[in-house]
Structure 1
């Protein structure tokens, strides 16, 4: 089974004075603004790192739900946040770390079982694997 989802971005202008808009195929985001000031200066708008963080938190939490199902457990509630670290290195900017933080209420789960299932979910959720994914590019320059 293969599922293909879409995200898109539009950008006009230079790096610091330019403006962009992010959209998702589902319509969850529709031309949501992003730009240099939102990414580096704390201004209103979004940035790629927070979107990766939200995607990672959501994917991991769903993956953990699947692990729990396999163990005959069901969560009353799970809350996950992801802190995505963007650093300037000699080679340019890079995402160097993602710190997932999870608080969960799972009746009947022992801490050892919970830790094992959470580790499996972290290792196997698709977004955790994305940094090792094959990334293709089809670039077209319009006249």
Structure 2
């Protein structure tokens, strides 16, 4: 069993407060976040937010899951690029309602159809997909180059 750790410190009220978030690995080390970076700022200059971190984690996890399924099918990607767009509904109680995953890959010897099926299969095995369980949509699946 693996355990991963993160921590956060929040000071002040919801809308005027600020916080810092850290990960045990040190990749995040007292990284600032706030209400403004959660709901207003999309440029990320003032800090991060939990939803952005979750989207990045989902993109990373999904890329690894696709790589695993590719390997089971006898393929190795030269490159997989994943963008995750997390939808946070803010009417009433905030709720994550969807995640759209866009993947492109450079996979020697694979057809477009094989790549799309593998990406679809991987969406069922990605650990973050399983944990979130909103509407996970894999869109615009394409290979950059097939050899």
**TM-score (normalizing by structure 2):** 0.85
* 1:18 paired to 2:17: yes
SS of match in other structure, 2:90: strand
Matching of residues 9-88 of structure 1 within 5 Å: 9-42=8-41, 44-88=46-90
Q: 1:89, CA displacement in angstroms?
A: 3.4
Equivalent residue number for residue 135 of structure 1 = none
Q: Please report the RMSD computed on the Cα atoms of aligned residues, expressed in angstroms.
A: 1.1
Q: 1:52, CA displacement in angstroms?
A: 0.6
Equivalent residue number for residue 107 of structure 2 = 106
Moved over 3 A (4+): none
Q: 1:131, CA displacement in angstroms?
A: 2.3
**TM-score (normalizing by structure 1):** 0.87
Q: How many residues align?
A: 130
If each structure's strand is expressed as a fraction of its own residues, which one has the higher value?
A: 2
Gaps of 5+ in 2: 134-147
